[in-house]
């Protein structure tokens, strides 16, 4: 069965929603950095298990340097995001942290337009504006 891009995006959204709740419960009484480190180990094992099961590790030797640089930079950004997210969950309510975290949406769309030259339709701009207003309303 082939899943369309939007199907994977929906799976991602559902899993991300679970992260907020599971993470909030998980960091109670421990360092948020330790919680992030444990989560990261699980992700590394899970991702490599999939790569190995599919035989995709053979592609490692063929990676262009540019690809590797951008994947490393993406990993650094992910690490910063996760560390900050788990600390925010530790300090604040998940019902407020998650929407604020999703302000990454308008930032990603702006970056996609500027860096990747992706088009921004009026529907996209309106929808993201409404989502942004919704996220901002959740801040006390």
Q: What is the pLDDT of residues 9-53, one digit of tens each?
A: 999 989 999 999 999 999 999 999 999 999 999 999 999 999 999
Q: Residue 104 — very low, low, confident or very high, per pLDDT cuts 50/70/90? A: very high
Q: Residue 125 — very low, low, confident or very high, per pLDDT cuts 50/70/90? A: very high
Percent of the chain with pLDDT over 70: 100
C-alpha span between 105 and 22 (Å, rounded): 22
For all residues of the chain together, what is the average pLDDT?
A: 93
DSSP string over the chain: -PPPHHHHHHHHHHHHHHHHHHHHHHTTTS-HHHHHHHHHHHHHHHHHHHHHHTTGGGGGGG--HHHHHHHHHHHHHHHHHHHHHHHHHHHS-HHHHHHHHTTHHHHHHHHHHHHS-----HHHHHHHHHHHHHHHHT--
Percent of the chain with pLDDT over 90: 81
The pTM assigned to this predicted structure is 0.83
Residue 1's pLDDT is 77
Residue 121's pLDDT is 95
The model's pLDDT over 82-95, given as tens digits with 9 standing for 90+, comes to: 999 999 999 999 99
Residue 139's pLDDT is 83
Residue boundaries of the structural domains of the chain: 5-101
């Amino acid at each position: 069965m082939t899943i369309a891009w939007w199907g994977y995006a929906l799976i991602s959204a559902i899993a991300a929603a679970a992260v907020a709740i599971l993470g909030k419960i998980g960091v109670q009484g421990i360092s948020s950095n330790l919680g992030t480190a444990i989560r990261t180990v699980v992700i590394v094992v899970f991702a490599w298990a999939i790569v190995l099961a599919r035989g995709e590790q053979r592609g490692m030797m063929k990676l262009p340097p540019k690809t590797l640089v951008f994947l490393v930079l993406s990993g650094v950004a992910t690490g910063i995001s996760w560390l900050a997210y788990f600390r925010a969950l530790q300090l604040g309510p998940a019902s407020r942290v998650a929407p604020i975290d999703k302000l990454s949406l308008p930032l990603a769309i702006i970056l996609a337009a500027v860096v990747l030259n992706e088009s921004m339709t009026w529907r996209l701009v309106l929808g993201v504006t409404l989502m942004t207003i919704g996220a901002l309303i959740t801040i006390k």
